[in-house]
Structure 1
Amino acid sequence: MTQYEDIKEGEKGAWVSIAAYIALSALKLAIGYMFVSGALVADGYNNLTDIVASAAVLVGLRISQKPPDKDHPYGHFRAETIAALIASFIMATVGIQVLITAVRSLIATEHTTPNMITAWVALFSAVCMGAVYWYNSRLARKINNQALMAAAKDNLSDALVSIGAAVGIIGAQFGMPWLDPVAALLVGIIICKTAWGIFYSSTHALTDGFDEKELTTLRATIAKTKGVIAIKDIKARVHGSNVLVDVIVLVDPELSLIESHRICDEIERRMGRKHNIMGVHVHVEPLEQDHQTSKESLNPLPEGR
Structure 2
Amino acid sequence: MTEYLLNIATKGNKDYGDEEVRGRVGYISGIVGLVINLILSISKLIIGLAISSIAVMADAFNNLSDAASSIMTIVGFKLSNSPPDEKHPYGHGRVEYITAFIISFMVIMVGFQFIKSSLDRIINPKAVIFQWIPFTFLILSMISKVWLSIFNRKLSEKIDSSALKAVSIDSLWDVVTTFIVASSLLSSFVTDYPIDGYIGIFVSALILYSGFSLIKENISQLIGEAPEEDLVNCITEGVLSYDYVLGVHDLIVHNYGPKKIIATIDVEVPYDIDIVTIHNIVDKAEDEIGEKYNLYLVIHIDPIKKISKDMAKNINSIKDELRKDNVIKCIKDFKFMVEDSEKYINCDLILDYEKLDKDFSKSKFKEELIARIKSIDSSIGYNITIDI
Q: TM-score, normalised by structure 1?
A: 0.83
Distance 1:54 1:284, change over 3 A: farther
Q: Which secondary structure does the structure 2 equivalent of 1:224 belong to?
A: helix
Of 76, 80, 97, the match for 1:60? 76
Report the residue type matching 2:146 in the other structure: G
Residue 220 (structure 2) pairs with residue 221 (structure 1): no
Separation in 2 of the partners of 1:75 and 1:133? 29
Match of 1:51 in 2: 67
- Listed as ranges, the matches of 1:1-305 within 5 Å are 1=15, 2-106=18-122, 108=123, 110-117=125-132, 118-175=134-191, 177-207=193-223, 209-210=224-225, 212=226, 214-225=227-238, 226-227=241-242, 229-254=246-271, 255-257=273-275, 258-259=277-278, 261-263=280-282, 265-266=284-285, 269-270=288-289, 272-273=291-292, 276-287=293-304, 292=337, 301-302=348-349
* C-alpha displacement of 1:193: 1.9
Separation in 1 of the partners of 2:35 and 2:107? 18
Question: 1:101-120: per-residue Cα shift (whole Å, max 9, x none)?
Answer: 223333x3645134244432
Separation in 2 of the partners of 1:144 and 1:268? 22
Q: Which secondary structure does the structure 2 equivalent of 1:115 belong to?
A: coil
Deviation larger for 232-241 or 69-78:
232-241
Tell me the number of residue pairs that the alignment of Structure 1 and Structure 2 aligns: 295
Q: Which secondary structure does the structure 1 equivalent of 2:270 belong to?
A: coil
Separation in 2 of the partners of 1:266 and 1:177? 72
Report the residue type matching 1:224 in the other structure: E
Instruction: Tell me if the contact between 1:32 and 1:38 (Cα under 8 Å) persists in the aligned partners.
Output: yes
Instruction: Tell me if the contact between 1:205 and 1:239 (Cα under 8 Å) persists in the aligned partners.
Output: no
Identity %: 22
The gaps in structure 1 that reach 5 residues or longer are: none
Separation in 2 of the partners of 1:136 and 1:301? 39
Mark the structure with the bigger radius of gyration.
2
CA RMSD of aligned residues (A): 3.0
Separation in 1 of the partners of 2:216 and 2:98? 12
Separation in 2 of the partners of 1:11 and 1:116? 37
Distance 1:139 1:293, change over 3 A: same
Instruction: Tell me if the contact between 2:97 and 2:162 (Cα under 8 Å) persists in the aligned partners.
Output: no
* C-alpha displacement of 1:150: 2.5
Q: TM-score, normalised by structure 2?
A: 0.67
Separation in 2 of the partners of 1:19 and 1:260? 54
Q: Which secondary structure does the structure 1 equivalent of 2:152 belong to?
A: helix
Distance 1:49 1:88, change over 3 A: same
The gaps in structure 2 that reach 5 residues or longer are: 1-14, 308-335, 340-344, 352-388
Task: Identify, as 1 or 2, the structure richer in helix.
Answer: 1
Distance 1:31 1:193, change over 3 A: same
Q: Which secondary structure does the structure 1 equivalent of 2:302 belong to?
A: strand
Question: 1:197-233: per-residue Cα shift (whole Å, max 9, x none)?
Answer: 33223332222x21x4x53222211222214544422
Distance 1:75 1:109, change over 3 A: closer
